[in-house]
Every structure is written in C-alpha cells, then in structure tokens.
Amino acid sequence: MSPEFMEALLSGRRAEAEAIAGLALPADWPGDDERFLRLRLRQIQADPSIQPWLMRAIVLRGPDRAFVGHIGFHGRPNDNATAELGYTVFPEFRRRGYATEATQGLMDWALRQYRVGRFLVSISPDNDPSLAMAVKLGFRQIGEQMDEEDGLELVHELVLD
C-alpha cells in the first residue's frame, strides 16, 4: 500500500485510492483501520525506505482482485534479524487460508531478500483461528505481553534456518 494510496483514501478520495491500488475496496473500510493507516503513513513519510516492511494488501488472484485484508511487519527487523508481523483478514473472508498464505509469503520474502530468520506474532488468547494458524506454521509461544490497546497477547516465535 503506497503512501499515495493511503493519502487518497484518508483524504476521502476513495475512487482515486482504488485506481492507485487497482482494486475495489470494501464499502466499510478503513473503518477501525483508519488510525492504523495514519500511523503507517506517518512512518513512511518520516522514512520512505521503510515502506516495504509495512502494510501490504492481501488480494485474491483472478479478474475480480478482491481485497480481503492486509499484512505487514511492525517495522524493520531488529539487530537480531527478528521481525514482528501482523495481519487482518476481513470477516467475510476468514477461515479460508488467506492469512496463512500471506504470512508464509511475507516471511519467505523477508528470508530471501533480507535474511530475516526469526519472526514474531502477538495474538489475543481469545483468537483461536490465529492461534491455530501460528501453530500450523510452526510458531511456538515464548511469552505474553500486555498491549495498551489490545490487552493481553500471547507472543509466538518461528525461527527459520
């Protein structure tokens, strides 16, 4: 998601944002994601080189190119080649494997392009589908943390060789 896309969307120029991205946006989006989009846009404006690590659209293959969610890292990897990722799949598209495929793809990209080999995800203990996906991908719980907005999160790690 380019800064031009985010600026257009956040400025109410929805048709322009859709044209920039080449896809149709859900009528109710960004909704709760508006604050998150503004944060990511500020990060990119402060340091354009961080853009590849931030928000990416999850888009279905095929002619309709349905926008089903977004995924990205919380920032660049740290000095230990560790990157934390997060994702959202819109409710009507959940439980179809899209988050799993997007997560695998993003981790593969980071490993191939930047030799990032350790990944973290922080998941609410009530989010059974995400917890199951983390286990399916080989993540293991290494701790927990209290997020000021989301509450208790279980921290999971995956180390790739």
Check which CATH number belongs to the domain holding 105 and give it: 3.40.630.30
Residues 84 and 141 in one domain: yes
Q: Please state, in angstroms and rounded to a whole number, the distance separating the CA atoms of residues 133 and 154.
A: 13
- The answer to the question of residue 61 being in a domain is no
Q: List the chain residues with pLDDT less than 70.
A: none
In a domain, 63, yes or no: no
User: For residue 125, what pLDDT is reported?
Assistant: 97
Contacts 24+ apart (CB under 8 A), 95-101: 95/129, 98/58, 98/60, 98/68, 98/69, 99/58, 99/69, 99/71, 99/130, 99/133, 100/133, 100/136, 100/137
What pLDDT, on the 0 to 100 scale, is given for residue 18? 94
Sign of CA dihedral 20, 23, 27, 28: negative
Q: Are residues 23 and 73 in the same domain?
A: no
Same domain, 103 and 143: yes
Question: 77 with 139, same domain?
Answer: yes
Is residue 64 situated within a structural domain? no
Q: Indicate whether this model's pTM tops 0.85.
A: yes
* Count: domains in the chain: 2
50 and 99 fall within a common domain: no
Separation of alpha carbons 62 and 103, rounded Å? 20
Residue 98 lies in a domain: yes
pLDDT (0 to 100) of residue 65: 83
Which pLDDT belongs to residue 62?
Answer: 83
77 in the same domain as 46: no
Q: At what angle do helices 3-10 and 34-46 cross, to 10 degrees?
A: 140
Which structural domain range is residue 39 located in? Answer: 1-54
> What pLDDT score does 49 carry?
95
Q: Are residues 101 and 158 in the same domain?
A: yes
